[in-house]
Amino acid sequence: MSQILREKTFPGGQVFQIAQGDLTREPVDAIINAANAGLQHGGGVAGVISRKGGPSIQAESDNWVKEHGRVSHSNPAITSAGNLPCKYVIHAVGPVWGSGDEDSKLTAAITGSLRVAGELGIHSIALPAISTGIFGFPKDRAARIIFTAIDDFFTDEGATSLNQVRLTLFDTFTVNSFLQVWDRHNE
């Protein structure tokens, strides 16, 4: 189980948490995968999710791409979770740092993932620090964008089944970077 480090409750009762732990072990309805547009889950968070979840995640991802084409930033793909404790994996495509318009692309990836979670009727999700690993997005900048996108979603969305969002971070450097921004963001 992850360790909850910060928590915010919105006026509608939704809860946003920052935790340190293993995304693949979170007791939530769905996890968000930091995916590439072709849903090839070889490295980073995607590789860990695919290995721990088993071959069905990559097989379903391949089928998704055959049917729908490459995944856009604003419209994530959905697969089952294989051997993971959650029901679904929502595959969000974050931007590669240096690709242009990165802030808007990251906002679209977060907002699209939250929207899809609501469309699935699920209540809880966990997500990683999308794009801050092998895609090179600066952690403090990503933190501000992710926090704002989640705040805006719960402020603007109105009725949604989604009532818990947990940002699950693994390494201490990322945790510390995100907590510094959280503390400034929520003063």
The domains of the chain are located at 3-185
Protein fold of 3-185: Leucine Aminopeptidase, subunit E; domain 1 (3.40.220)
pTM above threshold 0.75: yes
* pLDDT value for 110: 97
**Residue 168 contacts residue 174 (beta carbons within 8 Å):** no
pLDDT, tens digit (0-9, with 9 covering 90-100), for 125-158: 999 999 999 899 999 999 999 999 999 999 886 6
**Residue 99 contacts residue 39 (beta carbons within 8 Å):** no
Query: Any alpha helices (H) in the chain, and if so which ranges?
Result: 44-53, 55-68, 102-120, 139-156, 172-185
- Measured CA to CA, the distance from residue 60 to residue 26 in angstroms comes to 21
pLDDT, tens digit (0-9, with 9 covering 90-100), for 65-82: 999 999 999 999 999 999
The counts of H helices and E strands in the chain are: 5, 7
